[in-house]
A and B are shown apart, each in its own frame.
Chain A
């Protein structure tokens, strides 16, 4: 073959077997249909003749007898323990475990979900980033703000549950979020908790709202929200911490 030919052609297979590299296939195809066709054809004929001669090399009868046996050395299947300790198997198992864990966490998270949980989580993330200066200063009892919301913003049923009605406030505001409209946010002195009131999630089929009187919880980035829904309005008390940090406030009314 000429010196400028594809170097791969130098070891072009004598008989083309399935599974040949694409690069080799392309090089052979080019050689067969290009200027090197004659030289390549001579090379192939040369290689074929040698391969034929190689196969004519006599094999010792004793060795041939060995090869005639179907299983020269019996292949022993590796034991289960060895298979399990194989790094590839271990990696796959670990990956599946992680995927399974994430999936289970997501399922568990959504099992506790309720209508409006997504809105509540969004507001929880807002709570974690809100500074008190963003709110209008207002020092009063939280329960008194229901009238303010109705009188000033025409927000009906924005009532503070009895459990939080007596806490002193630092400030409040009413705003429209990208996804939640008519959100009332109140900052209270107690544990610097934040209270949110926002419209409940409507059933997309019939537009109805299903209230719930028990406390339901959402968690996000170290914050926990206790949510209750009444008269089509969701109330959420947000606190930095877990469920156990907010639980005492929810039992207050019962006592």
Chain B
């Protein structure tokens, strides 16, 4: 059995205007030491999916169905008290903005010792020694002085290193990283990602990386999920999906990258924008923007408009699209034409 198993997760927000279904039928697994990427645009539900694992989605959000199993523990039916033993200890998180995550009135050392003492019976001296060791692992220059510094004295890249050190403090099984480098510059981003990758490999820690950057996902993760409007629409090996995306949305996302077009030519864009979760189109949520179904005769197919697509196996990926078989047929014909 996988270390983490999420099945048919259904997350809703009870709002005055009615219920908004932020996640529908989200299922995925994570093996020990595996790196999984969750990709999607803002509002696709990728952050909320990760937050719901540790029951971090506040009211009015609630889990309406599905299960989250971590190493034999049912996380979604656990009491808050029991969940605290897992949270930060066996599954830790790295958030997007390193400025917001650290407590500005506590020194780095205090924050790290606090975290250790919350989960282990340990002397302050020993806790400090562990903290120092972790700071060395994240390659912070002069770690002893850093322990007594405050977050505002450090740069953004340095703060994110400290947050990684805190995430590693209790030797977790899984780290959930929510856009860990979005607030940072490219060169710093590259350093932080390389560091995270090295540490996860060294300590055999599983990583759930949430990002909108396909480049980062392709370099760091082994498997990936693509999310659209609260659903997973494609999942499989990262390499396979990047090289040969099956879902029209994934294809659109990859083709829209500037590096996929000839310089100076128009980019391949996806029409329109993502629908709001409270007002989803019927059937496949992507159908109003899908080029493939419109190619046939200008009209969307009845199946795409009426039925929500089920997952089908396509090559090494699983795709939720009615048109997969037809698209493959199309591609086969094209290949035949060429040959």
Whether both chains belong to one complex is answered with: no
- Residues on A lying within 8 angstroms of B by beta carbon are none
- Residues on B lying within 8 angstroms of A by beta carbon are none
